[in-house]
Amino acid sequence: MILGTPACALGHDASWKVCGALNVTVSPGPVVDYLEGENATLLCHVSQKRRKDSLLAVRWFLTRPDSQEALMVKMTKLRVVQYYGNFSRSAYRQRLRLLEKRRGTLYTLSVLTLQPADQGHYVCKVQEISKHRNKWTAWSNGSSGTEMRDLYVYAVLVCCVGILSVLLFTLTIIWQSVFSKRKSRVRHYLVKCPQNSSGETVTSVTSLAPLQPKKGKRRKEKVDVPPAPKIAEENLTYAELELIKPHQAAKGIPTSTVYAQILFEENKL
């Protein structure tokens, strides 16, 4: 703000003389974040007018990261809205709305259905104009801006981090399940071995793992031996063995001959 009587300077138009500075504030700011597809509304507050009967001309500029400052839309001193450059196309005209909410103090710029190309630095420039000696004269001006960012990149980054976390968790669960299955396949058995020379029983632990087939060695198939036929009990013949001591021929002479008498008896059923 310039105190006292400021020196006047010519503006872009020779008939416009800028003699001071308005207090212009843009909100929200200095940085505002939106998601693609949302509607954004920027407020331009104006105060400290130099003349009560003056009119305001409001212009909005956009500076993209890869381009220079471009005039988007303007509201003339007669409150007529004009579009400039590419923003005069119907696609932009339907999405840009410049309104005067409070006469001479508050102006709103609405950008509907935000797109990635809408991010950049938005600047509101205001000129105070009044008629002096039958000429329109600019008495003061002011500007303020804000940075509009698209949160799509940040949302994608957050989603990627979340997806990576889920994948890592899933891989961890799968690895643990596979490891537990492999561990369960290895079973330990206690085998009781014959007693050794000291009389102790040796117990060994063996692991049952999948056997690899050995080339050149084939196991001979075991031939099933048919069971012996059962003999009918009625065809059995029993024998009775009776030992008889022989008669000694002479006393004092030992003999090793043993006589046996076998009696056959047929079992009658």
- Whether residue 50 is predicted with pLDDT greater than 60 in this model: the reply is yes
Q: By C-alpha distance, which of 99, 106, 128 is closest to 45? A: 106
* pLDDT of the residue at 46: 94
What are the tens digits of pLDDT across the range 227-259? 655 544 555 555 565 656 665 555 555 556 655
| Mean pLDDT of all residues belonging to the chain | 74
Does residue 132 contact residue 148 with C-beta atoms inside 8 Å? no
Q: Say what the pLDDT of residue 62 is.
A: 95
Dihedral sign, Cα of residue 88, residue 93, residue 95, residue 101: positive
Q: What share of the chain is helix, strand, coil (3-state, %, to 5)?
A: 20, 40, 40
Phi and psi for 217 in degrees, rounded to 5? Answer: -120, 120
Domain segments of the chain as ranges: 10-150, 155-183
Q: Which CATH architecture has domain 10-150?
A: Sandwich (2.60)
Q: Read off the pTM.
A: 0.52
Percentage of residues in the chain having pLDDT higher than 90: 33
Q: Is the pLDDT of residue 205 over 50?
A: no
CA-nearest of 141, 145, 128 to 69 is 145
User: Nearest Cα to 122, choosing from 142, 104, 144?
Assistant: 144
Q: Is 253 helix (H, G, I), strand (E, B) or coil?
A: coil
pLDDT band at 219 (very low <50, low <70, confident <90, very high): low
Q: Which residues 6+ apart lie within 8 Å of 22 measured at CB?
A: 46, 47, 48, 49, 126, 128, 140, 141, 142
The confidence band for 1, taking pLDDT boundaries of 50, 70 and 90, is very low
